[in-house]
Structure 1
């Protein structure tokens, strides 16, 4: 069951997966504190991020490969903040369960899930580009020089779009203020396992630690070779890249864990906050 199935079948959910005409419907729980927290922090983060995004989009450095990828990452992140914070806050504050508005939650979950997947691959590509910025003699740099960068930009869009359209989405659970593949309608949880998500998150965790660890190692060992202007630029570049990706690392680990293990509420909230 995927968003493409939903669209092609007259916007009807597959009853084999998302049947709300059962006795064991998920029960909503009003979470007014956490709902307010996620909503208002989401609004604040969205506005601040939007300002930064506009600055990136209008900067002269948009001609560079790194800024082109950061632009894509910004679009995905804004979409993720809207779903994971603002929409989550509204649903949690109201105590909405999946069966209260299944189509809306299904569609929003698919969009948010696709945005997350797009964030992951974009973050890793950005890490490779940042490494090449510090080590310009690396041969891999040739892969994205000139117009070739648009191949990677297209890959980022296609990856996120395919995840949203062709794999199982996440659904909201107000009890834990988070999103799960299992909507809680009494079906076998194995029906909702998403191997694509599991593989993506494991690759994201390993790739982020490896690439950004290597980037930090290179940067710290080459700092003495830069002049003051170059050193400031490299510091800014590293800091930007770190901020863009650290929360993706935390989320990838926590979300993978809580989809397969009955995690305590505080761990689920940490993953959602990240």
Structure 2
């Protein structure tokens, strides 16, 4: 965004100057129409956003939203929905059209800034959520000190600031229908890759996501310890498997997508690996829908109740 302010418009930024050809010529030269993939991406993004609506409605219910973890989860859900607009709905439209950066420079530049910022923001929100859960189970007084009441909103300003840093001060990602994903290099000028290098992106993907995964492992240990204290060592096998499966799944998706995106911006990799990285990025923002409905009894019952499928049953909130 700082370059838009500096040069006055997207088209005026030297490294993003598309004046050599018309948008149609750029699409013809470097684009590749992918109608089936485009329709699949758009359908996925729209469906995930639709399903997210009743989930967020349940989270916003007074009895739930008063809990700090539900505030964090609600914010994460909103960020996920916005990110799905970029990595699925807009991506699907561009893939269907066979677009490259210079086909829709303004749309892609602004979407690239937003999508990148939302991904980095979601990484810190996920970190905040797991810290909240660990402290709530092991250090309740410290959890209240940091997250109690309106303090949660103060904590949530940190991922917003973090995400805005990437939006304002770093290189945005740009779409290519040929590779069906987003690169930092808009592929305008040949042999120009290092000029678009985004080192903060590497830091976020390799260290922030990895650190979050380590905290998920700590969370598993804390939960299992609590369960063992309450129910005894012979009764927690099923729950332990569920906890480890959920945490391992989240970490595997996010970490694999993160590593692939770092690698593919520096070296040439097979198309299937690029597409896998993009699918995992989409999954990272859509997976919470399945996790909440499949593994969170409070949210699942709340959604079913709102849909009129299941009558309300008193349930202790579980996250």
- TM-score bucket (shorter structure): 0.7 to 0.9
* Unmatched runs of 5 consecutive residues or more in structure 2: 281-319
What residue number does 1:259 align with? 265
Matched, 1:206 2:204: no
How far apart, CA to CA, are the structure 1 residues paired with 2:148 and 2:243? Answer: 20
How far apart, CA to CA, are the structure 1 residues paired with 2:101 and 2:58? Answer: 38
- What is the RMSD of the two structures over their aligned residues, measured on CA atoms? 2.8
Q: Given the superposition, is the C-alpha separation of residues 138 and 214 from structure 1 closer, same or farther in structure 2, using an over 3 Å criterion?
A: farther
Q: Report the CA distance between 1:44 and its aligned residue.
A: 1.2
Q: 2:167 aligns with which of 154, 164, 167?
A: 164
What residue number does 1:99 align with? 102
Q: Does the aligned pair in 1 maintain the 2:4–2:13 contact within 8 Å?
A: no
How far apart, CA to CA, are the structure 2 residues paired with 1:81 and 1:158? Answer: 20
Normalising by structure 2, report the TM-score. Answer: 0.75
How far apart, CA to CA, are the structure 2 residues paired with 1:240 and 1:69? Answer: 22
What residue number does 2:16 align with? 18
Task: Count how many residue pairs are aligned between Structure 1 and Structure 2.
Answer: 267
How far apart, CA to CA, are the structure 2 residues paired with 1:208 and 1:268? Answer: 23
Which is worse superposed, 133-142 or 111-120?
133-142
Normalising by structure 1, report the TM-score. Answer: 0.86
Q: Given the superposition, is the C-alpha separation of residues 77 and 251 from structure 1 closer, same or farther in structure 2, using an over 3 Å criterion?
A: same
Q: Does the aligned pair in 1 maintain the 2:136–2:143 contact within 8 Å?
A: no
Q: Report the CA distance between 1:124 and its aligned residue.
A: 0.8
How far apart, CA to CA, are the structure 2 residues paired with 1:210 and 1:270? Answer: 23
**SS at structure 1 position matched to 2:30:** coil
How far apart, CA to CA, are the structure 2 residues paired with 1:11 and 1:273? Answer: 31
Larger Rg: 2
Q: Does the aligned pair in 1 maintain the 2:116–2:166 contact within 8 Å?
A: yes
Q: Given the superposition, is the C-alpha separation of residues 9 and 57 from structure 1 closer, same or farther in structure 2, using an over 3 Å criterion?
A: farther
- Of structures 1 and 2, the one scoring higher in RCO (CA 8 A, sep 6+) is 1
Q: Given the superposition, is the C-alpha separation of residues 42 and 240 from structure 1 closer, same or farther in structure 2, using an over 3 Å criterion?
A: farther
Runs of 4+, deviation exceeding 6 Å? none
Q: Report the CA distance between 1:143 and its aligned residue.
A: 3.0
